[in-house]
Structures are given as C-alpha cells and as structure tokens.
Amino acid sequence: MPYQAIADTVLLLHFGIVIFVVLGLPLILIGNRIGWLWVNSLWWRLAHLATIVIVVLQAWLGRYCSLTELESSLREQAGQGGYERSFIEHWVQRILYVDAPMWSFAVVYTGFALLVGWAWWRFPPRLRRGKDRGA
C-alpha cells in the first residue's frame, strides 16, 4: 500500500480546507463589496460556517484535527520517522503546522469563527432560485 502517497494526498486535502476557511471569509467580504452573488450562496456559506465550527469545537475539546491524525497514522504505516519527508510534505507542513500551545489555537479559531458569524449576519446567505442560480 502506498501509504506515503495517501498521506501526502491527505495533507494536500487538509491544506485545501485551510485555504477554503481562511480565504473564504475575505472572499465573502470582498465579494459583497464588488457584487459577486455567488459568495452569498447558501451552500458555500453553510460549508464555510460548518468547517470553522468543527475546527473550533475540536480545538476547545483539545482534539487534533481528524485529518492530522489520519495523516500521522498513514505516515507511521509508511515507516516514516525522523526527517524523512516528501517534497509536498516538507513544504505544506512548514506552512500548515505551527508549534504553539493548544489553547492558543482554540482562541484564534474562536476569534475567526466570530468573524465568520459576523459576516453571516452582515451579509446573509441566499438560496438562489430559478434563472439566477448560476449568477
């Protein structure tokens, strides 16, 4: 089984989710400012809100992200130890993982979630019907 390749795929998925959460909020704010209708799509906004809520809950419960645990398990199964890293793993982990106390992540994630909640209130999502669905 190619555990390292699967672990790298999980790492890239994790990185994509982080990008979605972090850049999703500025996209909502900027998009509302310049008139992009899709940034208020109910499905986009629900996915964004649900993702940050899950992150906040895991942090306050003192749990690592499920994707982090899966990736770690896959790397162990690949027999990786020490400094063995693929190119993807090396660079994405440098960007994605920060060495700080767990409580500090919970505080930062909660603050970010509050901003997402404010954006939800300030620019409420809309369920598009009929012709303007693709807008």
Q: Of 55, 67, 72, 66, give the one whose Cα is nearest residue 107.
A: 55
Round to whole Å and give the CA distance between 92 and 86.
10
Per-domain residue ranges of the chain: 3-124
pLDDT at 129: 65
Asked whether 35 and 111 are in contact (CB, 8 A), the reply is no
> Which SS3 state, helix, strand or coil, does residue 126 take?
strand
CA distances from 130 to 45, 92, 127, 133 (A): 19, 41, 10, 6
pLDDT at 82: 39
- The one-digit pLDDT tens for each residue of the chain (135 residues) are 798 899 889 989 998 999 999 999 999 999 999 999 999 999 999 999 999 999 999 989 988 888 888 888 888 888 875 335 554 566 677 777 778 888 888 999 999 999 999 999 999 998 876 554 544
pLDDT at 100: 81
